[in-house]
């Protein structure tokens, strides 16, 4: 999974600790999530709601390119 969370928060000037406080999360866990850790579904939904964005917009599956695609057994 890829994340736009850091970019979104930075562009909006929102401190990570502010989000953590608003959704009842430890600041250290929020820092982990911003750094790329995968949040629980519950926390992902809370963050998305707070930011008025969809979970799918914030966290998305990186599309494979021909250079990174795994061979198929055809």
Higher pLDDT among residues 73 and 9, named by residue: 9
pLDDT tens, 9-57?
999 999 999 999 999 999 999 999 999 999 999 999 999 999 999 999 9
State the Cα–Cα distance between residues 39 and 26, nearest whole angstrom: 12
Q: Which two three-digit tokens encode residue 5?
A: 């969370």
For the record, the structure tokens of 45 come out as: 């939904």
At 48, which helix (H) or strand (E)? helix 41-51
Domain locations in the chain? 2-60
Is pTM beyond 0.85? Reply is no
CATH of 2-60, picked from 3.20.20.140, 1.10.260.40, 3.40.50.300, 3.30.450.20, is: 1.10.260.40
């Amino acid at each position: 999974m890829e994340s736009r969370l850091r970019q979104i928060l930075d562009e909006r000037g929102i401190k990570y600790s502010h989000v953590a406080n608003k959704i009842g999360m430890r600041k250290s866990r929020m820092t982990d999530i911003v750094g790329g850790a995968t949040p629980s579904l519950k926390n992902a939904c809370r963050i998305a709601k707070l930011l008025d964005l969809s979970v799918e917009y914030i966290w998305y599956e990186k599309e494979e390119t021909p250079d990174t695609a795994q061979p198929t057994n055809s």
